Amino acid sequence: LALQQFGSYGLGDARHLGQNRFEVAGARCEFSGELVYEGGTIYPSRAKAVDVTDLPPVGQKRLRVGFKTPIDLPLGFPPSPEHLLKLIRQRLVLLVNEYGSGERVPDFKCKGEVKPIAKHYHRLVGYSRRSGRREFWNCWTGIADYNFEEIDETGKWLLSVGKVLGAGAKSSFGLGFFDFI
């Protein structure tokens, strides 16, 4: 609904001229495969909730990761395998402690390498209501090939969690979502 409202206003500076508007045609639940939003109607019964502890670990050690929404990476793109898992764990900890039972998220062990395939820099500007000042985020989208030479079961599970929850901070802004391609 927020995206639908956002679309009615438009994107960028030309939105003031009535341009760059869009409409959300539909939204599909990743877990049920069914449309949960279509033609302006929400179908909550079509959405399937999943407990992240029930997600199966990723089986492969070589992954091509597509960063669909910008991810905040001040040190550049792509994040190392260890850093990617750390960012996924960070997001999970924030969600568990804020919305969940506060249980401990296990540590992981991994070693590997990453090779960038495509990358695009985005300098995003936000405004903090808490501090009353502007913030600048160094964000990236792109594609990277990951080769996990060593990865434990927690790390494999965290990769599955990351596919659902994303990685890093600022999830409320839609940052840090990725998929395996």
7-20 confidence digits (pLDDT tens): 888 877 777 777 88
Q: Which domain covers residue 44, as residue numbers? A: 1-49
Please compute the mean of the pLDDT values over residues 13-29 and round it to a whole number. Answer: 83
pLDDT band at 172 (very low <50, low <70, confident <90, very high): confident
Do 85 and 172 lie in one domain? The reply is yes
Burial 25-46, CB ≥16 within 10 A → b, else e: eebebeeeeeebbeeeeeeeeb
Give pTM, 2 decimals. Answer: 0.82
Are 92 and 152 part of one and the same domain? yes
Q: What is the pLDDT of residue 109?
A: 97
Residue 24 placed within a domain: yes
121-170 pLDDT, tens per residue? Answer: 998 887 777 777 778 889 999 999 999 999 999 999 999 999 999 999 88
Looking at the structure, do residues 171 and 117 belong to the same domain, yes or no?
yes
Q: Is residue 91 part of a domain?
A: yes
Chain-centroid distance of CA 21 in Å reads 24
CATH label of the domain that carries residue 97:
3.30.70.1900
- Indicate if 38 and 70 belong to the same structural domain: no
Residues 28 and 75 reside in one and the same domain: no
Overall average pLDDT of the 55-79 stretch: 96
User: At residue 133, what are phi and psi to the nearest 5 degrees?
Assistant: -130, 165
Is residue 101 domain-resident? yes
The answer as to whether 56 is a domain residue is no
89 part of a folded domain: yes
Between 32-36, 99-103, 121-125, 158-162, the lowest mean confidence (pLDDT) is in: 99-103
C-alpha span between 159 and 91 (Å, rounded)? 12
Same domain for 73 and 41, yes or no, is: no
- Is residue 55 in some structural domain? no
Domains of the chain: total: 2
Residue 96 lies in a domain: yes
32 and 72 together in one domain = no
In a domain, 17, yes or no: yes
Q: Given a cut of 70, is residue 100 above it in pLDDT?
A: no
| Whether 111 and 135 share a structural domain | yes
26, 95: one domain: no
21 band by pLDDT with thresholds 50, 70 and 90: confident
